[in-house]
Structure 1
């Protein structure tokens, strides 16, 4: 569609601890170089040598994933036994992603000027070329398993992480997600996991509360609580 200027600029204080820094590729590259070299760049110690390891140390398991944790403003995960560290983010008007492999001193930085865009295919290709790794899961898609009626009924509800809202509903015996004004069909991808998006590129995890009932959802870096 036609680009529009959004004013006032989107500002959510809930995002401040994990992002909301205005930067550019050059400055981020220097930060990444220092991170991958125990705080050193151009022969100078600009960060405490122990800081990168402290920031990347796993703290909290990520729902729905194995070997994936949230650290201090970073996410960690393993792919083909290679440890990745990074973080992505997006808001109205831009998107960004940094993925680092400390053991290889390798990183990819993506900055875009489109809402929610992090150029995942380009990021994967850069990783493939730089590390010799290839995510062949996209070439061998898992068979689609339909959601049961019990699963759909358990997931239906409205989930909120103000000011954002995710609405899950059933239409024509199929499960749909309404997010930011758009309706997406939900496809089962695992236990309490579904995918959505124009190319099913986003994953959403339904998380039970203490009672066993689904009380939360988790997608990207967002957690949201059931409000209806």
Structure 2
């Protein structure tokens, strides 16, 4: 979610797979009040007026070796302090400067309660940090042909279409990998949560409503995935094979993969953790992101990612070898769509490119960054100043609480200004927490109304209901009452009565939002004609009709 500190969070469920555009603009907005004051309740913070600036009589010079050394020297203490404050179990950090790995360390544990320590070669799930890795793959696969970005996706991806036939025929790899196709925010993510595979999801995006094509930005994992998969189809190989042959193999990224199976079988891997209500951390869930592999399914190590950083900062070369065409790699660093309009005439505009948040700092330097977040247990960050040939990678095995983004911000502050401009951790953590609150239904299903209408008999609700987008919903009964089944497997959800013909269940999965409502509607008969699932209805697709 950064360009110059532009953070794109939507609601808590989008944190999950998001490439949240690091919360930095919003975090700065939160910090604009009195020192020590916490964020006020309310909607998501608006972007900041501008990034933090040094005193006007002390503009930061171009970075020197001493500047970088100072920031590197501070890293051990910063990481350890932030891990202590948050409880995040494990972290790995790498820094590249002028084609050298100047810092590479692991901290903490791979799995809470077990002795194995995190090291530079521990495999982490990257979540949406996968996107800039994948755009590098496409740049490499294109060779010296920059036309690959302008290829219409539907021509190469069987079954893929969008709601508007004209847009469907003209949407290119660039449109989909820069989130400007018109698809709504995180389109398809809930299908993945219900258990649908990539083919089903890409084939059903045609039902989603569209915003203006190439004139609106909305972050979509499956739009990005469609663009990348179309490139793999033109080469006649799988996405994993294309990634191995184009980038991972030539760059010596031997522990990097786009498949969950490879991550799962790695002996030295960091397991995802979530934080319990009492503040402890637990390895509770497993996140399989194969359906959106190009957008969120990459796993890697800090060692491998520093090799990728070196390649990025050296225009596509590594150890004296050309891995990716320089012009095509540079193309991924260009702004393609406004992702964060300025909040005021003096504010800064954030852009999104091909897998990168693209921005420019107060000295006009290009700044590239991306975050990755799985609500089920991962948070990552990459931030680069290509003109300074400086970049940092931060990998963690805990759900997003601000650590990965804050370490990167502290590092670049220290390099540029001699010290951090603020304590980033509480600010960024507050934005994540505020997004969690914003995801909750406005209805408190735990507190039924004072005067509650009785439900009808169970048989009035049971039956099979169809939905062109979400597939089949089946309502059955068991000894404890009504059960809702959703998805191809299917997943079973216990329905609790709230009021009249409205029930609720607790959502699960990467995009869980807590309790959500299920409302049945009746016509002339004694059986419900339709049911609407609240959290599936954000774009108007959440109503199921009785078969």
TM-score, reference length from structure 2: 0.25
On the 8 A contact 2:341/2:349 being kept in 1, the answer is: no
In structure 2, what is the equivalent of residue 57 of structure 1?
A: 334
In structure 2, what is the equivalent of residue 100 of structure 1?
A: 384
Matched, 1:109 2:393: yes
Give the whole-Å Cα distance in 2 for the aligned partners of 1:18 and 1:131: 31
Q: 1:181 to 1:59 in 2, by over 3 A?
A: same
On the 8 A contact 2:379/2:395 being kept in 1, the answer is: yes
Q: Within 5 A, what are the aligned runs for 1:56-205?
A: 56-65=333-342, 66-81=348-363, 82-91=365-374, 92-117=376-401, 118-132=403-417, 136=421, 166-167=439-440, 169=442, 180-181=512-513
Q: Which structure has the bigger radius of gyration?
A: 2
In structure 2, runs of 5+ residues without a counterpart are 1-279, 343-347, 425-437, 445-510, 515-536, 543-547
Instruction: After superposing the two structures, state which structure 1 stretch, 127-136 or 39-48, moved more.
Output: 127-136
In structure 2, what is the equivalent of residue 37 of structure 1?
A: 314
Give the whole-Å Cα distance in 2 for the aligned partners of 1:116 and 1:12: 21
RMSD of aligned Cα (Å) = 3.4
In structure 1, runs of 5+ residues without a counterpart are 140-164, 172-178, 183-223
Task: Give the paired residue count.
Answer: 155
Q: Which has the higher contact order (CA 8 A, sep 6+)?
A: 2
**Deviations along 1:177-211, whole A, 9 cap, x unmatched?**
xx8557xxxxxxxxxxxxxxxxxxxxxxxxxxxxx
Residue 16 of structure 1 and its aligned partner are, at CA, apart by 3.5
Matched, 1:6 2:285: yes
Give the whole-Å Cα distance in 1 for the aligned partners of 2:282 and 2:289: 19
Residue 112 of structure 1 and its aligned partner are, at CA, apart by 0.3
Give the whole-Å Cα distance in 1 for the aligned partners of 2:421 and 2:360: 15
Could you say which structure has the higher helix fraction? 2
TM-score, reference length from structure 1: 0.56
